Structure 1
């Protein structure tokens, strides 16, 4: 019997060695080592998480909350270090999407022809 978890753990180790992961790791380190960038990003993430929680709870998001979130997002994007980190994250996300497509391919083929 195949132990898929052993294979996934091996894939995880390989994933950490990809250029995309290494680029993100470096970019995160740069942000962590810059107090201003870290504060801006921490505030940005806090606002994102709070709004996501409200959405998941079915609560309305107030206009002033949206304006505040947009301003925090703009501030984060204007910071070169944060912007570089977010770009690196997007590159890594593309790798994750491709891996996910490959993983679900067997399921998709099961349903072909139905």
Structure 2
């Protein structure tokens, strides 16, 4: 492969960077700038998310559940490309995906046994 084969990719990347920079520059020039303390406060359903009215800080259970959701969602996204090329990859690909699914099930069982999926009110 020569460097000229990558020229369209570099031109496209430069174009994307140029459009992004131009969009940010124009929007920063045209938008109204009126910052004040109430406007810059975090918003969570009309209440201060870290104050007394919100019931204190978020519990760790919320973050553990969110991380587990992201991990298992990302891992299951690997099933779609595998299903598309299943006939082409043959038995080796099938066995590898079975091992992958077993590892996911072991991780799910571990999270379940540790109580990460239980939600206390």
TM-score of the aligned structures, taking structure 1 as reference length: 0.32
Q: Could you say which structure has the higher helix fraction?
A: 1
TM-score of the aligned structures, taking structure 2 as reference length: 0.31
